[in-house]
Structures are given as C-alpha cells and as structure tokens.
A and B are shown apart, each in its own frame.
Chain A
Amino acid sequence: MKGIMKNIIKSALLLAAVSVLFAASCRKMDHDVINPNILEDSFVDTTYTEQFRRIWQGIDVGYVFWESDHTDWDSVYRVNLPKFKAADERVKDGKEGMSFNEYKSLWNSIISPLLDHHLNLILIHPEVKQFSANSIIQLSPSSNRLFCDDWHRKFKKEEHLATINNMVRDSSVAFDFKVFNCPTSDDTSAYMISGMFEGNIAYLYTSSFMIPYTDTKVTSFVNDWLSTIIGNKDLKGVIFDTRNNGGGYASWLQVLGQYFCDKTFSPTYSIVKTDIGRYDYSAKTPIYINPNDNGYYRIMSDDCPFVCLFDQHSVSNGEEIPWMFSHLPGYVGIGERTGGGMGSLMLDNYTSLFSGTFGNAQILKKQYTRGRNVNFYCYMSTSANFDSKTGKCLEGIGMIPDIEVRLDTAKFFSGISDNQLLKAVDYVKTR
C-alpha cells in the first residue's frame, strides 16, 4: 500500500510541476502592437497584406468610437485578410494583384460602415511603380452619405462673393458688408464676411475656424461685428453662417459663445482614449462655455432670433459651434444637414492618446518613395463628443436644421442668388 501511495504522490507532484512549467508559458505578452506612426520613416514592404494589417491595427487601437460604433472590426479582419493575401499571391505569380478599382472598392467597403465622419483614409495602390497624384485613393465614410444625399460641391470664395455682390446689385437684398481675408495656421485660405442686412439683421460668415482667434486683426473684426449686436436696441436678429466651414480650433466655441450666454453651460462632453484597448476611455469631460467676464453679452430670444445657417459641408467646428448655439435662447437652424464629423481632432498624438491620425502624412504633400515610406495615411478623430443632456454620441448625425433649405445650386453657382441666405433673412424679418 505504501508503495502505491508513494507512486501516486510522485506522479501527482511530477504532473503538477510539468503543469506549472507549461502554464507559466501560456501568458500572451507578445510585442505585436506597433505604433503606426513610428513606421513613418522605416523601410516597409508594400504588400497588400502588410498595408491592410497595419491600417486595420491602427484603426483597431486608435479608433475613438468603438463604444458607439457597432462595426464588428474583428470580422472585418477575418473576412478581408484572405482577399489581400490572394492579391499578394497573384503578384508573386507575375499577375496583377488587384485592379485600381477593385482595390478602391474593397477598401471603401471596409471603412464605409465606420462612424467617424472625420475619417479620411488615403492610400497608395501597393503595385504603383511610379508615384503621382493619380496614385492616391482617398476614402471617407462621410462622403458615402453625402454623395447619396443630394450632394453638391463646395462653393469657392469667388463664387460666394460674386453671388452676394450680384444679389446686392440687383436689389434682391439690401446688405452692407465687408470681407476679411484671414490669416490661418494651415495652408488654406480663409475669409470672414460681416455686415448688416436691411432691417437690422447682423450677419457673420466664417469659411474656417483654423483662423487664429488671438490674432489682433481677427479679434478686431469679430469685435466690430459684436458691437452691432450687443447694445443694439433695434436689432431684429443674427445670422451666423458656417456653410462650407470645415472646422478648426475648438477654442472658438468659448470665443463666440461667451457673448450670447449669461451663465455657464455645457453643450457637449467628450471622451478620449486612455489606453490601447478598444474600450479604454477617459472620464466624460464636459466642455463648458462661460459668459463674458465683463458682462458684455446679449441674450437672444424668439423675437430676436439667432439663426445658424449651415450646409452639408459644415463639418467639425463648423457644426459644433451651431450645436453650441442650439443650446441658447432664440436659436433656429436653417440649411442642410451637416457633415456629422462632430468629434475633435488633434494631429500627431497617437503615442500619448492611442487615438487619432496615423500613417505617412507626406502622402498628402505628394511626397512618397516606394519602399521607403508607409503607403497610407489615416486621418481620424481623437475625441468623441456626446450630447450633455442625453449622452447620445453626436458623430455621424450632424446638425439637423429646423428649417431645411437645399441650396439652389443652379442659381448659386451661376451667381444669381443664395436661396439659403435669403430664407434666413426672410425668417428673421417675418418674426
């Protein structure tokens, strides 16, 4: 009996020791999550599979909307990886891996379901031998919605000003206005228009919020506009126009909002990523708008309304600022549903925030050397914004106007009239 017992104990101990050694090696602590930004200057094998894996992983780790977005990203990987692998196999056999259109369509199907309306994926076909501007494919989930939804192109500054000038000239509208060509912190040109319509209706147009709000000329222009509103007893209303405005600095929320509120309010709360897991988020951080310190503000009302004019090309701050004004008295939204890119975006912060833009920004500058640079650039939101009251994610929804007015493109682009602006003026006049 003693012998049997000894054998059992020995066997049990041996089994336990082997199990411990085996199990100890079971922890998966591999170093396979790569910061896509670090690849920017490394040598990269530009295969279909490699490109797909890196973009998939960059979005997997850095996408800030997983909590609200129901796309099964793991399934996207499992379904599409074989397609890219097959393309690489065909290349190995000396054939074309995937035609330009097939490739574009496949990537479009991958990113289309995503909620992030800032997302812009810029790709170079892996088989491109000679890089040119035509080698670039640019895809965005938001453009799919826009193109299906009575899409019209963006207007140019010259077209915009020509239409206003023509309307004034043929007396469609009495409008005393001035144009300010603004400095911007990026390469784009921006302009503001301020003025007063007949009947004491103050107007401000901004083509961008990339305008530095601390610039003295900008401050002076905005203050001049505010002086026509605050303290103006005959004021009938305000039209604040962010059509064609692709957004910019979030600080513009406070810069403008302070003059139209008498107490602190929070239209939005935001979250950012805090770790590389899909669902690792910061605390909900309210974005507060405080009234002007010197008591220099005007509270609007239904009788003296604050009309926000926006269109499908109003994106990011171009819709966030109307969203903020929609929480204040007298607000009315006129125009088209906005782009829906309500998240915020900061560049070059992937390492610290585990979210946002990654890849090779040089592609945008048309600088790319095959085999030396990553052949993609993915522009994504860094933070997700939510309605403070309902907790609903604002991404992909955009501002929905109270009074929908589609742009009469035939008249606008031929410089005859701006039906959206005329509707806004008419709304205020008929209050």
Chain B
Amino acid sequence: MKNSILISLFVLLGTLPAQAQLQVGIKAGYLYDKPVVNTQYAYTRQYHPGSGAVLAAPVQYDFLEWFGLVIEPQLQFRQTDYYLRDWHSERQKNLLLDFPILANFSWGGEKVRGFVNIGGYLGGWLDSWSSKKDSFESSDIAEETGKRKFSKDDNRFDGGLTGGIGLRWFNDRKVSMSLEYRYYYGLTSYRKTHADGSSYGFYNNLQTVTLGVHFCKLCKKSK
C-alpha cells in the first residue's frame, strides 16, 4: 500500500511538469487569539481573547491547477487577557514562529480563484511579555510591565491543526493577490503537565484574516 502510494506520487510528479508552479509570497494580517483553559475549581479565573498580528512568507507548489502544497513560515504576535476577581488583570503578549503545511484546493477562472486548505503546523514560542495590574488588599495599584522570563512550566513547542478559505485575484499569471481566513486549532498547551499528570491546559484557538501578494517567476503571463 505504502509503495503504491509512493510510486503513484513519483508518477504524478513526473507527468505534471507543465502544470507545476512554484509561487512565493508575503502575507500579513489580523490575528484573534481565543484561549481555551480549563478553569477547574477556580471559576474566578477569566481568560479573555485578544487581538494580534501575523506575518507570513508562503511558498506554494501547485501540482495541478486545482491542487497544491503550501508551506508558510510565519511570525504570530498573540495577545490574551487574564482577570482574577476584581484585583488582578494581566495581558500576555507572545511571539511565535510557526510552520503550517497545508494541502491547497482551488477552483474558478483565470482572474479569480477560490481556495480552501487544510493541514497542520509546528513551531516554537520565541518570546513573551506581560503587563500586570494588581490592587490586592491595597488601594494602590501595582503595575509591572516587561519581558516575561520563560519558566520550567512553559511549553515552548507549538503545534496543531489548521485550515482556511480564501480568494485569489490574478493580475497576470506571475502576480496575484489573496484574501484568506484561517483557523488554527492548537494541540499543544502553553503549560506543561506536572509529574502527577495534572494538566493545567492552556490552549489557543486562533483566527487570522490576511492579505497577501504572490509571485510566480516561471509562470507564463496570461494573454
């Protein structure tokens, strides 16, 4: 079974040079991070979603006019807010480098094409900052803003599933623009599981809307 799939892939790659296209591009846009945390007994913990940004450099290889693979290295700037009762608030800002790999399916004409994609992503948590505000047992408000030192409890490996939908406009075959909505379902927690198996799961559901420009050097200009 394995062999037959591999052989089929080689055959496919060997027979599709005329249709194959390599495109590179740049994408940027808005990111919305909704944290998913099990508040367990501590129901006073409130995690709120926050806005962020994404900057990506997609590389797309189309095997067929309607099917291709996308590798999209991207920097994600994520933000979430945390509140504890009425005395503690904290905004956490995180920078991650992720590498989504997606199967891309497209349809439509020469000028405008729709597409959907599905895949997974792996990456790492590069940096973190926080700003805290506290008024515990005091009328004075204590504030602290700065770089957050990673602790032994932080899981800096990031990964999950992703899928998107979008439209692409072709100026000619060499240059195109895209508008895409994508959803990221995080499967790794920001926090590690402790020795007794206790999970302090802190997962992320991300949504992004991006605008992109794509270039295809070897593509022939449309007539």
Contacts and interface: CB of A to CB of B under 8 A. Distances in A.
A28 B140 CA distance: 38
A279 B138 CA distance: 22
A351 B151 CA distance: 23
Interface string A1-17: 10011011101100010
B195 A28 contact: no
A11 B67 contact: no
B171 interface: no
A16 B163 CA distance: 11
B63 to A, nearest CB: 9
Contacts of B120: 19, 23
Nearest to A70: B152
Given A285-B134, A351-B41, A274 B196 contact: no
Interface in A1-45: 1, 4-5, 7-9, 11-12, 16, 19-20, 23-24, 26-35, 38
Given A23-B160, A285-B138, A29 B201 contact: yes
B65 interface: no
A26 B193 CA distance: 13
A73 B153 CA distance: 12
A16 B103 contact: yes
A29 B39 CA distance: 9
Given A74-B194, A277-B200, A283 B143 contact: yes
A278 B151 contact: yes
A8 B12 contact: yes
Interface in B134-162: 134, 136, 138, 140, 142-144, 151-154, 160-161
Contacts of A352: 44, 85
A285 B67 CA distance: 57
B180 interface: no
Contacts of A4: 8, 11-12
Q: How large is the interface on A (under 10, 10 to 19, 20 to 34, 35 or more residues)?
A: 35 or more
A296 interface: no
B40 A276 contact: yes
Contact of A282 (B41, B136, B160, B161): B136
Given A33-B40, A276-B42, A283 B199 contact: no
B106 interface: no
B203 to A, nearest CB: 5
B191 interface: yes
A404 interface: no
A38 B203 CA distance: 27
B182 interface: no
B200 A276 contact: yes
Describe B's contact surface by its main secondary structure.
mixed
B197 interface: yes
Contacts of B45: 275-276
A19 B8 contact: no
B86 to A, nearest CB: 11
B67 to A, nearest CB: 7
B203 A27 contact: yes
B174 interface: no
Nearest to A3: B8
Interface centre among A60, A274, A277 (most CB of B within 10 A): A274
Interface residues of B, number: 53
Contacts of B8: 4, 7-8
B84 interface: yes
A77 B195 contact: yes
Interface centre among A5, A78, A275 (most CB of B within 10 A): A275
A33 B191 CA distance: 14
A81 to B, nearest CB: 8
A283 B132 contact: yes
Given A32-B197, A275-B45, A285-B136, A1 B5 contact: no
Contacts of A38: 41
A288 interface: yes
A357 to B, nearest CB: 16
B46 to A, nearest CB: 11
Nearest to A75: B195
A74 B195 CA distance: 5
Interface in A190-233: none
Interface centre among B15, B40, B185 (most CB of A within 10 A): B40
B199 A32 contact: yes
B90 A274 contact: yes
A84 interface: no
Given A12-B103, A19-B120, A23-B160, A278 B185 contact: no
Given A4-B11, A8-B12, A12-B103, A33 B187 contact: no
Q: What 8 A-B pairs are tightest by C-beta distance, nearest first? A: A283-B144, A74-B195, A77-B195, A28-B199, A285-B142, A283-B132, A279-B151, A35-B41
Given A23-B187, A73-B195, 17 more contacts: A4-B8, A8-B8, A9-B67, A16-B103, A24-B161, A29-B203, A30-B197, A30-B199, A32-B197, A32-B198, A35-B41, A57-B196, A283-B134, A283-B142, A283-B144, A285-B134, A286-B140
Interface of B: 5, 8-9, 11-12, 15, 36, 38, 40-42, 44-45, 64, 67, 82, 84-85, 88, 90, 103, 118-120, 132-134, 136, 138, 140, 142-144, 151-154, 160-161, 185, 187, 189, 191, 193-201, 203
23 contacts: A1-B11, A1-B12, A8-B9, A19-B120, A26-B187, A27-B36, A27-B201, A28-B199, A29-B36, A29-B38, A33-B40, A56-B196, A57-B196, A60-B198, A73-B195, A276-B42, A277-B200, A279-B151, A283-B132, A283-B142, A284-B144, A286-B142, A351-B41
